[in-house]
């Protein structure tokens, strides 16, 4: 039986929460830089960084202009930093928008990919038809123009 949050985190082998103030860029870089898997699956791996699901991984990668299929260990230091800062920005915006409520997607800031994450969805930046594909067993959405996917 799990008695508190710390026990649960240890039992599940969860990584640091994506919004934990102790998770600075250096800690993020150390956690992800050498992982030889695609960026989307690394962001969703709760043992590396906890708290990012399928939908938010797409929006984070979209906002950071990173192809979800690119291997994490192939990202430059500047791309990793952009990814880290974007991760924080997107998740904080989701909280302010009421993440978890039924209508939070419509309250996300202008330019968010989340409202367009559907068949026939369009890039909020350039208007291109979004590409939808399977990646690591999950559905991924990205802009072929803005993310080169």
Coil/strand/helix, residue 131: strand
CA distance linking residue 94 with residue 42, whole number of Å: 20
> Taking the model in full, what pTM does it have?
0.90
Residue 116 has a pLDDT of: 92
Residue 139 has a pLDDT of: 95
Residue 1 has a pLDDT of: 57
Residues β-bridged to residue 38: 71
C-alpha pair distances (Å), 11 with each of 3, 5, 15: 11, 10, 11
For 16-142, CATH number? 1.10.8.50
Residues β-bridged to residue 147: none
Count Cα neighbours of 72 within 13 Å in the Cβ-side half-sphere. Answer: 22
**CB 46 within 8 Å of CB 11:** no
Q: What is the mean pLDDT of each run of 10 residues along the chain (149 residues)?
A: 56 83 96 94 96 94 98 96 97 82 72 92 97 94 97
């Amino acid at each position: 039986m799990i008695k508190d949050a710390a026990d649960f985190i240890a039992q599940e082998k969860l990584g640091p929460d994506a919004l934990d103030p102790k998770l600075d860029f250096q800690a993020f870089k150390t956690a992800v830089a050498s992982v030889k898997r695609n960026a989307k699956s690394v962001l969703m791996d709760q043992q590396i960084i906890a708290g990012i699901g399928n939908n938010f991984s797409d929006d984070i990668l979209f906002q950071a202009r990173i192809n979800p299929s690119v291997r994490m260990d192939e990202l430059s230091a500047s791309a990793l930093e952009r990814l880290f800062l974007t991760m924080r920005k997107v998740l904080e915006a989701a909280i302010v928008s009421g993440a978890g409520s039924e209508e939070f997607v419509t309250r996300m800031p202008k330019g968010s990919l989340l409202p367009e994450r559907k068949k026939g969805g369009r890039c909020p930046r350039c208007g291109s038809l979004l590409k939808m594909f399977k990646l690591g067993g999950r559905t991924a959405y990205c802009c072929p123009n803005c993310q080169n996917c």
